[in-house]
Amino acid sequence: MEKRKEPRIKKRVIVKFGENNYERLGFTSNVSSGGLHIASSQILPSGKEITILLEDNNRVYSLKGEVRWSIKYPSHFYSYMLSGMGIKLKEIPAEFKEYIRMSVM
């Protein structure tokens, strides 16, 4: 049974993120207007509030969300299994929704 309401778009963009500032690095593997997946070795646990800085095509998007799930694999798996987090976005800027809409086209 599909839980997602919005279609996910495969997109790899570098992001900075953290609980209070942008002290961690990762990249997206998919995005939608309601959430995204961040692949990173520096994950946060489920339930944490997160701030995200996403830059693509000379546009910067400041996002807030909540970690819905996270998984951390041992370092010897990194070449074929990515540690990461599923993020549900909150307070989604209209500019970001437009960015997603334009990415689908």
Domain map (residue ranges) of the chain: 9-104
**Could you tell me which CATH number the domain at 9-104 has?**
2.40.10.220
pTM, two decimal places? 0.86
Contacts of 51 (CB under 8 A, 6+ apart): 17, 18, 19, 20, 21, 22, 62, 63, 64
Q: What's the pLDDT tens digit per position in 4-48?
A: 567 788 999 999 999 989 999 999 999 998 999 999 989 999 999
